[in-house]
Structure 1
């Protein structure tokens, strides 16, 4: 076995890079739009741009811009987040020679209903969901091999190039370090975009799970062993080898789809000290449990890897995953004791065409898509369905919010159409809202959601990656959606059209105007407490009153915390 390790510091990929040997003056012929938001994708076509060089850059009103694509005739850059709002000029500078300026208008990012913001990645697909750092920074690894760092408000912080497109979802550490992987290489990038180290396994088939911070601070990942390569392995945070285990039976993967690492306790309610790895072994699917010092504790036949490689872990450590049993059952959902892999749940739901990845709520209820179109919630304690909702669409894997209120999933009405992002009430399965993705019917360009959503720990925002089926579009891009899900789950916050408050003689009256159904209820708080229940009438209105007040008053809708207003009772 041969293993290579590198540690180096590569400068952050800014647009101080472009055509080295070009002698002709650069000329901009056109840009993609005449109005772009801060951190918006700025596609420039022209001539004389040359190739990447430290002597070349793009400037917007004198500020150097981040870039991803640079050829002699086309550049894709991003409007600097610090740009002033209003008219601006873009120039390409090659070996000290400036192009003609082209004017456009810089705007602020705009939301639209449940969409907080979108980000256009310079790629035709974002295969996986983003990683999320504790400070809210998002990391995307695109099919062009670029890693993007975005602030929670959608501002582009930096881009950095690694070797190729992602083989697995990125992972973020507690200090903001992001870990990505492609082919047989993995990379650690600092929170500032510097490549800290690269760890290779050239005898492996491919990266299966990127190095992921474990509960003890070390990193844990998986290579498809290949010749064999490493298999399951552990590194220090500085990228130094600790151990590896090929698995028994030997791990290997046929057409891996990539997975997130899963950790859990080795005994019910114990400390987190175990990691799980799924491999399809060309149909002989296996789920492995390893201790954090590299010992294989158990292995059980379960799969296929598309879902079995990424189990979910219950509050008591129980391991849940879909399984396909060829003889007699077909698709089932199973639960395993973390200490020895013995069965604790076997649910045969009469599935016909499959079960998606599972998502698990804070009460251990399992959410999944069955037979492409049924969104279901399974109570593993009783082994019975809480509900089953026919969506009349083709759905992707769902994700439940950490507080258990809402389920977010993407899908498509049927094959050939643009997709959508939907929210469902986790308690009942009722659809709360749907946001259509752009595009038109095949073969026109259209966008579909891909992989599972990433939801913030406070359950207020869901991030959904997309893939662009471009139909030969000369300017392809994919979208990351930031969805506002605060207060979802029984109340459609977008239906609250106005919240107002007025105080006269110490009497505070708050009024709601909405498109909510008659009989819907909302909870209003005054200055963070003193709740009132408002019942919506047939005209979509409701009100609450408080008396004997003085000073400033803030009124907020508990179910939709961003709906807030104020009045003064002086």
Structure 2
């Protein structure tokens, strides 16, 4: 039987064309997120903080990774993210960006940035190629990838903004990286392509410190916020050198500690942007106009109106909004339509006790995971009745929890603490194998020689008798090397190239009582060989 060909009339084609104009398909992001459970800050492009998996039902640890130091020298303030191959990425205050094996928590590779104190606040963005993007206190935005050999991450490109960075990157549909810096400006950066290096495409100046990270909608609108107390909707220029168009602004009515914004905007699928301010108020804004839809002042009513909300929100599938306040309460808030307009009410809350600086992660069974300022991590279940959530489990770390959690597809939950440790929780997985050698880990110390001396950070990975390491020496920069292990002794060599020294650095050392002491020789410094001493401690 013959079928007649389908013929579209001009009228039908016209209707289809009109629909495409009125409701265009979202553009494909040229810098696409990695296909992984948690590839960026808050889990996805809209910063919703929701995971499509179930998390751990107990506080059973799979493994713990330590930077060796805590607080400003080694604490973890960034959120872990997950690469397409499962690698766990995070940066620490020691200035080292780590890539860990998800099964064992061992180091796959690392990259030392130029600063070593309160050094990385920026949570990474991982794209489909496995390239990792982040900002650092040394003023640089880095694009890193796994090394072809050794353990020091390869720099795909970097750009120096000339000022420190506290925010996390996002990408616009045309592949421009957006990040905020401590000169109070947001930057649009064109990544390096071919022989052309990364370049600043545009810059938008606010009037306050930038702690809030940018959020990009599918139509390319960039939403940013500042400690100047304003939320901005920006339309970036198509070409470099053209001005940024401000579509709208919203002002909280205060700034800095009394109304500035420290958390990131989050967007739902109905055109609402959610962000909370230091005045203790959660705001729901229309993404097209910036008009206030509703607000919730529960934290302010509890008596907290300065530095009141650091927590970004999580958005449930039913548009319930979850966030924590300085008063120590986790709130579940939902919009309510009434005769006199739209408002919001708290469906339930849960008292953590201390204040909250981290942001909630919401799983598909309704469990909320969040940390508090005293270092306790909470798994919270919504109430079956009443207004009080209940604790599923708690776990105490030894540092403030600023880092927010990430969740893997296998149910492993990762979170960092200011005690310098990254924790991996999984209720069903077995404990990670303890297979690392005694030299593996992060070491800190001093190098002294007649020509120059300085602090040094070294990441070592021992594989049997083989030793791989990457290092950063003040005044000399970063490098990598390999060596061999025999008992408690090591021998190593590496090429070195600084303003004063070019050639080969070689040395041998001994591990005793938690210290590595080595004699290091450089064959050519200002035309002469130089011998120095290296002392390292494991945190």
TM-score, scaled relative to structure 2: 0.51
User: CA contact under 8 A between 2:187 and 2:202: conserved in structure 1?
Assistant: yes
Indicate whether 1:390 and 2:385 are aligned. Answer: no
Query: How far did residue 439 of structure 1 move?
Result: 4.4
1:527-559 Cα offsets, whole Å, 9 max, x none, are xxxxxxxxxxxxxxxxxxxxxxxxxxxxxxxxx
Measure, in 2, the Cα distance between the counterparts of 1:379 and 1:207: 33
Q: Which residue number in structure 2 is paired with residue 276 of structure 1?
A: 274
Select which of 293, 297, 302 maps to 1:297: 293
Query: How far did residue 257 of structure 1 move?
Result: 8.1
Select which of 327, 330, 333 maps to 2:330: 333
Residue aligned with 1:342, SS:
strand
Q: Which residue number in structure 1 is paired with residue 256 of structure 2?
A: 253
1:326-355 Cα offsets, whole Å, 9 max, x none, are xxxx42110111465523433233514556
Indicate whether 1:423 and 2:424 are aligned. Answer: yes
Q: Which residue number in structure 2 is paired with residue 262 of structure 1?
A: 266
Q: Which residue number in structure 2 is paired with residue 191 of structure 1?
A: 191
Higher relative contact order (CA 8 A, sep 6+): 2
Residue aligned with 1:254, SS:
helix
Q: Which residue number in structure 2 is paired with residue 155 of structure 1?
A: 154
Measure, in 2, the Cα distance between the counterparts of 1:356 and 1:311: 10
Query: How far did residue 276 of structure 1 move?
Result: 1.9
Measure, in 1, the Cα distance between the counterparts of 2:201 and 2:317: 35
Q: Which residue number in structure 2 is paired with residue 374 of structure 1?
A: 376
Residue aligned with 1:351, SS:
coil
Query: How far did residue 148 of structure 1 move?
Result: 0.8
Name the CA shift for 1:397/1:208 in 2 (closer, same or farther; >3 Å): closer
Indicate whether 1:407 and 2:413 are aligned. Answer: yes
Count matched residues. 323
Q: Which residue number in structure 2 is paired with residue 244 of structure 1?
A: 248
Measure, in 2, the Cα distance between the counterparts of 1:433 and 1:317: 41
User: CA contact under 8 A between 2:310 and 2:357: conserved in structure 1?
Assistant: no
Measure, in 2, the Cα distance between the counterparts of 1:276 and 1:217: 18
User: CA contact under 8 A between 1:289 and 1:296: conserved in structure 2?
Assistant: yes
Measure, in 2, the Cα distance between the counterparts of 1:275 and 1:140: 24
Measure, in 2, the Cα distance between the counterparts of 1:110 and 1:291: 40
Q: Which residue number in structure 2 is paired with residue 207 of structure 1?
A: 210
Name the CA shift for 1:404/1:217 in 2 (closer, same or farther; >3 Å): farther
Q: Which residue number in structure 1 is paired with residue 115 of structure 2?
A: 123
Residue aligned with 1:408, SS:
strand
Name the CA shift for 1:176/1:258 in 2 (closer, same or farther; >3 Å): farther
Q: Which residue number in structure 2 is paired with residue 136 of structure 1?
A: 130
Indicate whether 1:220 and 2:223 are aligned. Answer: yes
Query: How far did residue 396 of structure 1 move?
Result: 4.3
Residue aligned with 1:206, SS:
coil
Query: How far did residue 212 of structure 1 move?
Result: 2.8
Q: Which residue number in structure 1 is paired with residue 79 of structure 2?
A: none
Measure, in 2, the Cα distance between the counterparts of 1:357 and 1:313: 11
Q: Which residue number in structure 2 is paired with residue 318 of structure 1?
A: 320
Q: Which residue number in structure 2 is paired with residue 6 of structure 1?
A: none
User: CA contact under 8 A between 1:134 and 1:176: conserved in structure 2?
Assistant: no
1:68-87 Cα offsets, whole Å, 9 max, x none, are xxxxxxxxxxxxxxxxxxxx
Query: How far did residue 322 of structure 1 move?
Result: 0.8
Select which of 281, 286, 289 maps to 2:281: 286
User: CA contact under 8 A between 2:373 and 2:401: conserved in structure 1?
Assistant: no
Q: Which residue number in structure 2 is paired with residue 234 of structure 1?
A: 234
Name the CA shift for 1:209/1:332 in 2 (closer, same or farther; >3 Å): closer
Structure 2: state its 5+ residue gaps: 1-98, 148-152, 300-305, 337-341, 446-453, 458-470, 481-539
Residue aligned with 1:224, SS:
coil
Query: How far did residue 363 of structure 1 move?
Result: 3.1
Name the CA shift for 1:378/1:346 in 2 (closer, same or farther; >3 Å): same
Query: How far did residue 321 of structure 1 move?
Result: 0.6
1:73-114 Cα offsets, whole Å, 9 max, x none, are xxxxxxxxxxxxxxxxxxxxxxxxxxxxxxxxxxxx997863
1:345-370 Cα offsets, whole Å, 9 max, x none, are 33233514556322222333211123
Measure, in 2, the Cα distance between the counterparts of 1:433 and 1:173: 41
Task: Report which of the two has the higher share of strand.
Answer: 1
Residue aligned with 1:156, SS:
strand
1:248-298 Cα offsets, whole Å, 9 max, x none, are x4142239684433112xxxxxx3411122221xxx322221111122212
User: CA contact under 8 A between 2:263 and 2:275: conserved in structure 1?
Assistant: no
Name the CA shift for 1:132/1:115 in 2 (closer, same or farther; >3 Å): same
RMSD of the TM alignment (CA)? 4.1
User: CA contact under 8 A between 2:324 and 2:357: conserved in structure 1?
Assistant: yes
Query: How far did residue 446 of structure 1 move?
Result: 10
Measure, in 1, the Cα distance between the counterparts of 2:479 and 2:335: 39
Name the CA shift for 1:305/1:274 in 2 (closer, same or farther; >3 Å): farther
